[in-house]
Structure 1
Amino acid sequence: MTSTAPAGTTARISDPGQAQRRILRVLVASQVLSGAGLAAGVTVGALLAQDMLGSTSLAGLPSALFTAGSALAALAVGRISQARGRRPGLATGYLTGAIGSAGVITAAVMGNPVLLFIALFVYGAGTATNLQARYAGADLAAPGHRARAVSTVLVATTLGGVAGPNLAAPTGDFAEHLGIPDLAGPFILSGAAYALAALVLALCLRPDPLLLARTVAQAGEADATPHPAVGDVADTTAGRGGVALGALVMVLTQLVMVAIMTMTPVHMHDHGQGTVASGLVIGIHIGAMYLPSPLTGWLVDRYGHMKIAAASGITLLAAGILAAVAPGDSVALLALALALLGLGWNFGLVSGTAIITDTVPLATRAKTQGLVDVSIAIAGATGGMASGIMVAATSYPALALTGGALSLALLPAVAATAYRR
């Protein structure tokens, strides 16, 4: 027999609007910390593997490994969240990322590439958790404000995400003072950042947004007066087609973004640029991935998912073309290309997340979101692994052009879904 909340329960539940404001503050704090953590692997992961192995063809392997690790973590975080709530799910994911960071440092000290690859796989849990946190921001949001709630969580990653790559050189110097290879320095920062993010969530993410959203929905059903601040589903008309479209948008944008981003530091290094220059470019890229989120959220809520998803494909095409034609020693043009790459990814992530959240009911939401993020992570792993192989076989411009052209596949998918509606 299905249990229902007694009449009048809604009045006794804490105001979801007030709880949402507190939850967003806690999520913002944890995202600022975790943003610094996720930047380490992006900035020096490929260079660390290249230094250990002496081969450019495997420089994309670290990105592939920590992205593959994020696939498993996304599934685990989604299932834990489904069963026990967002707080234990997210805290566990960040703690796992911190353990992976410690493993990378150990591998660098020992000069052990096998341990490095295993540790990078575990480190990927932090990336997955950073993305899963966006769903927690939308659990209690009103249907017409979900994209803005998602964007609030995403933009908080900007501070740490931009600062992290630009701390590559200082943390490298600090690591050398400790007798650790300089390229492992950023992972000292990432380990501390992920551990602090886990602590903040474990102590402060109360009430749990997903559990409270379920309670309010059940109470609303019992009272026959659903709470206006919490909607179970905003638009069920899209059904499975909506889930498929949202997943496709995020998978394709992740694939293109990771492929081009992963090989940009290596491309710059091959043209005489150091870690300071590549850290600056990646910092600008990560800023463009997250900083526009409030505007993107407003655009999605105002103009709809489809238009912003289409804009994602067009922006990624522009990024690929510019990255291909930019000279390898032009920090300014590569920074602009990577900024467009980050913006296109942001358009895709916010619009795709809103589509998924609006088409999946609370009863299965966290599990479905975890499965979708598994697909996103696999796409990222594929992009990271293939990027190094493709650059070794052809060139960085060829990779950038291929990624830009591939992003255009979003346009017919969006048009077909819009036509069916």
Structure 2
Amino acid sequence: MTDAALTVAEQAAIQRRTVLVLSIGQVLGGIAFGATVSLGALLAADLSGDDALSGLATASVTLGAALCAIPLARLAARVGRRRALTLGNMFALVGIAVVILAASLRVFPLLLVGILMIGAGNAGNLQSRFAATDLAAAQHRGRDLSIVVWATTIGGVAGPLLLGPGEIVGEAIGMPPQTGSYAFSFVAQCAALLLYLVALRPDPLLSAQRLATAAVAATGVAVADRPVVARYAIFAVAGSHVVMASVMAMTPVHLAHMAHGAHGMAPTPADVSALVGITIALHVGGMYALSPLFGILADRWGRLRVVLLGQLLLGGALAFAVLVNDEEWGVMVALILLGLGWSAATVAGAALLTESSAPEVRTRRQGRSDSLMSLSAAAGAVLAGVVLSNFQYAGLGIAASVIVLAIVVLSPLGRAKP
């Protein structure tokens, strides 16, 4: 049976299987990314001999995602999601091998190349959430997208948890120190690649393109393109991501300063690590745990309303960051709200971008959104360090609130007519 002849029930069944496959792929693919985030800075500091260069690991993985987002999206538009996603997996596999080789040879620039390629693979992971919308019914688009976003947290949490077992396995098979968990990452990426090749059939994007073509031929009515709305959605997603990434990146530094200034005594490194770990864990929980709820709300309330709900939550987070930043509980509440606001804005903004773009330009805009999101977050994290050093944590909260205000003020663009 051709795509054009699919019944509603058959299309819904294919969509359910697609979302399941993408979610499992996100779990598998996220393991490599989680391990890189955890180990990249440590390996960079070790191989370079300079702690100041450890941040280049994070910069490399972000740059890799930004550089490959648009090419992978264009590839998907031509040959389908399956090939684009598997190419992302292949980038990550090569990147893992290069990282292990760099650690073995102790070559710092080679390490950055490997981490950049893992970041390129993560561009495929980002694309998965849009793949979940290709065949989704309009009334379930936000929900389906959010389920795949939610699955990200499993791989992201599993990656760091595998560090200890990974070192045991790595030592047993002769891998360089601090690279053992990449053995698990390599296996997970291979499994994700095979999963997409075998199970992501029919290809959701190619099927959606054929359905759209058949619908136009039958009715003579093409899907309206709303470029102004699409540009606003890209801005809202990128802006929300900048607010989240910049404040989150500087929170460990602020908490360390707080801990050293509390009670008139120096805390132990374990105390600082525990405080930072608990706070960031709560933040990550806020980012992903409720994403299905925000997806359902986006379907029922409308995309723009949930984008604005995200700005309300981000605004609340920044208020705590400005007014209660000298209390540990205040910072924790700020980071939880920060994660929740990011989740609402990202899920609803991605759905708004998808449905406001005509099929022929949709994947290209999705790639631009992912690329801009990664690049702006990297720039925001760098600028956040400057703001923190000169204006403290409260100043960072005030600076970030300007972006939230801009997203709210420009929100009428999210309702613009074609």
The partner residue of 2:136 within 132, 141, 144 is: 141
The partner residue of 1:340 within 337, 341, 345 is: 337
Q: Counterpart of 1:252?
A: 239
1:43 aligns with 2:38: yes
Q: Which runs of 5+ in 2 are unaligned?
A: 260-268
Letter in 2 for 1:163: A
Q: Counterpart of 2:230?
A: 243
Deviation string 1:105-133 (CA, Å, 9 cap, x unpaired) is 33334333212222221111232211110
Identical aligned residues as a percent = 34
Q: Counterpart of 1:180?
A: 176
In structure 2, how many angstroms separate the alpha carbons of the residues matched to 1:203 and 1:32? 17
Distance 1:66 1:212, change over 3 A: same
- CA deviation after TM superposition for structure 1 residue 42, in Å: 3.1
Mean CA deviation greater in 118-127 or 256-265 = 256-265
The partner residue of 2:17 within 13, 18, 22 is: 22
Distance 1:397 1:127, change over 3 A: farther
In structure 2, how many angstroms separate the alpha carbons of the residues matched to 1:11 and 1:309? 33
The answer to whether the Cα contact below 8 Å between 1:57 and 1:389 also exists between their aligned partners in 2 is no
Q: Counterpart of 1:219?
A: 214
The CA RMSD measured in Å over matched residues stands at 3.4
- CA deviation after TM superposition for structure 1 residue 336, in Å: 4.3
- CA deviation after TM superposition for structure 1 residue 91, in Å: 1.1
The answer to whether the Cα contact below 8 Å between 2:233 and 2:414 also exists between their aligned partners in 1 is no
Q: Which runs of 5+ in 1 are unaligned?
A: 1-5, 227-231
Q: Counterpart of 1:383?
A: 380
The answer to whether the Cα contact below 8 Å between 1:63 and 1:384 also exists between their aligned partners in 2 is no
Letter in 2 for 1:252: G
In structure 2, how many angstroms separate the alpha carbons of the residues matched to 1:242 and 1:204? 34
Q: Counterpart of 2:85?
A: 90
- CA deviation after TM superposition for structure 1 residue 36, in Å: 2.4
Letter in 2 for 1:120: I
Q: Counterpart of 1:262?
A: 249
- CA deviation after TM superposition for structure 1 residue 168, in Å: 3.7
The answer to whether the Cα contact below 8 Å between 1:28 and 1:152 also exists between their aligned partners in 2 is yes
In structure 2, how many angstroms separate the alpha carbons of the residues matched to 1:198 and 1:291? 26
In structure 1, how many angstroms separate the alpha carbons of the residues matched to 2:101 and 2:252? 23
Deviation string 1:350-380 (CA, Å, 9 cap, x unpaired) is 1111111111112222222112221112112
1:103 aligns with 2:98: yes
1:299 aligns with 2:294: no
In structure 2, how many angstroms separate the alpha carbons of the residues matched to 1:135 and 1:167? 28
With CA pairs under 8 Å and 6+ residues apart, which has the higher RCO, 1 or 2?
A: 1
In structure 2, how many angstroms separate the alpha carbons of the residues matched to 1:322 and 1:181? 41
Q: Counterpart of 1:369?
A: 366
Letter in 1 for 2:283: H
In structure 1, how many angstroms separate the alpha carbons of the residues matched to 2:171 and 2:255? 23
Distance 1:125 1:166, change over 3 A: same
In structure 1, how many angstroms separate the alpha carbons of the residues matched to 2:7 and 2:330? 57
Paired positions, count: 405
TM-score of the superposed pair, with normalisation by structure 2: 0.84
Mean CA deviation greater in 351-360 or 37-46 = 37-46
In structure 1, how many angstroms separate the alpha carbons of the residues matched to 2:335 and 2:30? 17
Q: Counterpart of 1:407?
A: 404
Distance 1:216 1:154, change over 3 A: same
1:129 aligns with 2:124: yes
Secondary structure of residue in 2 paired with 1:138: coil
Distance 1:107 1:157, change over 3 A: same
Mean CA deviation greater in 34-43 or 356-365 = 34-43
Distance 1:400 1:197, change over 3 A: farther
Letter in 2 for 1:250: V
Letter in 1 for 2:64: G
In structure 2, how many angstroms separate the alpha carbons of the residues matched to 1:419 and 1:138? 22
Deviation string 1:191-230 (CA, Å, 9 cap, x unpaired) is 333332222111110000011112222333344499xxxx
The answer to whether the Cα contact below 8 Å between 1:317 and 1:403 also exists between their aligned partners in 2 is no
Distance 1:413 1:214, change over 3 A: same
1:32 aligns with 2:27: yes
The answer to whether the Cα contact below 8 Å between 1:168 and 1:275 also exists between their aligned partners in 2 is no
In structure 1, how many angstroms separate the alpha carbons of the residues matched to 2:375 and 2:186? 23
Letter in 2 for 1:379: S
TM-score of the superposed pair, with normalisation by structure 1: 0.83
- CA deviation after TM superposition for structure 1 residue 190, in Å: 3.4
Letter in 2 for 1:287: G
Secondary structure of residue in 1 paired with 2:298: helix
